[in-house]
Amino acid sequence: MQTVIHRKTIQNSITLKGIGVHSGKVVTLRLHPAEANTGLIFYLYKGIQKIRIPVSLDHVVDTSNATTIGDGSSNRVQTIEHLLAAVHTLGITDCIFEIDSVEVPIMDGSSLPFWEGIRSAGIRVLEETVEPITITNPIWVVDGDKYLVMLPSDELKVTYSIDFNHPLLRGQSYTTTLDESILGTDILPARTFGFLKDVEALQARGLAMGGSLDNAVVLTDDGYLNDHLRYDNECVRHKILDLVGDLAVMGRPFRGHLIASKAGHALDISLAKCIMSQVTGNELTQYKSKRIPLFSKKEATR
C-alpha cells in the first residue's frame, strides 16, 4: 500500500540574512506559512514593487551558474537550489519566500542554514495530500560526456560521479539513499565549491563578489585553500545537493534512482522537464482509464 504524503508548510515565519554570492550585498529572506496548494512562491521586493515568481519549471530562465527563475520579463531570483534542497528534505510543499534581492543568500555555501532555519520555525502538516512523482520507465538526458539518468525505484537514491581536471577531483563518486535523515546529515551540509583561478576571473567581471572561504570550498591548482573540509568528498556531495534542489522545482516529492556523471544545473532541469512530461502523460492516461462512460457503444449506434 502506498504511503499517504501530506502537504506541509512552516509553522511560523522566519527571517534569514546573508551575503549574495555575486553582489556581495546583504540579502534578507523571509519565509512565511502558506495555505495548502499554494505551492512555493517567491515575492521579489524592488522598491515599492512586489513581484510574484512561482517556483516551477515553466519559470526557470537560466541554469548557467545556478538555477534562476523569472516572471517572463527582467525580474529574476537566482541561486534557489540550496534553499529548495532543504525545503524538499523537510517535505515543505507550500511556502512564501519574500526576498529583497535577485539572489538567495549564499549563507555558508550549503543548505544547512536553511534546513536549520525551517526546523526552528516548525513544520505544520496540512490535511491535503500530495502525490509523489514515481516514474515507470528509465528517463535520461545526455550532453556530450555528461549524462543524468533516473531509474524506477521505490525510494530516492543517487549514484553521482564527477571528474574535474584537478588531482583531487578526478573520478570522485558517491552512492547513497536520500531519506530525510541522510540528506540532513550527509548531503545538506556540503558546501559549494569552485576553483581559485575561476573565482579571480569572475570577480574581475564583477561577479562572485560575496564569495569567500566562509561560504565555499576553494581549490587551488593542487589542493584546497580551506583549512579543512566537512567531508573528504564534500564536492561530490554538494553536486548531489544541487541535484536535489534543482529537481525540487518540480514541486512534488519524487522517487527514483538518480545516476549522474558530470551533470549540472542545465542537465538537472532538462531531466526534470523529461520526468514531468512522462509523469503527466502517465497520470492523464490513468485518469482516462478510470472514467466511466456515460453510455455504451451499443447505445450510441441506436
Q: Is 265 one of the annotated active-site residues of the chain?
A: yes
Q: Are 91 and 32 in contact (CB under 8 A)?
A: no
| Partners of residue 227 on adjacent β-strands | none
DSSP category for residue 293: P
Please state, in angstroms and as integers, the Cα–Cα distance from residue 95 to each residue in 16, 64, 180, 248, following that order: 15, 26, 19, 13
Residue 114: other Cβ atoms inside 10 A: 27
Q: What is the C-alpha separation between 258 and 151, in angstroms, rounded?
A: 6
Residue 7: other Cβ atoms inside 10 A: 23
Give phi and psi for 287, each to the nearest 5.
-65, -45
Query: For 6, what's the count of Cα atoms within 13 Å in the CB-facing half-sphere?
Result: 9
Q: What angle do CA 235, 176, 143 make, to 5 degrees?
A: 60
Catalytic residue among 88, 238, 257, 265: 265
Under the phi-then-psi rule, with left for phi > 0, alpha for psi from -120 to 50, and beta for the rest, what region is 276? alpha
Sign of the alpha-carbon torsion through 94, 100, 103, 106: negative
Give phi and psi for 41, each to the nearest 5.
-135, 130
Q: What is the C-alpha separation between 94 and 146, in angstroms, rounded?
A: 33
End-to-end CA distance of the chain: 43
Q: Are 87 and 80 in contact (CB under 8 A)?
A: no
Please give the positions annotated as active site.
265
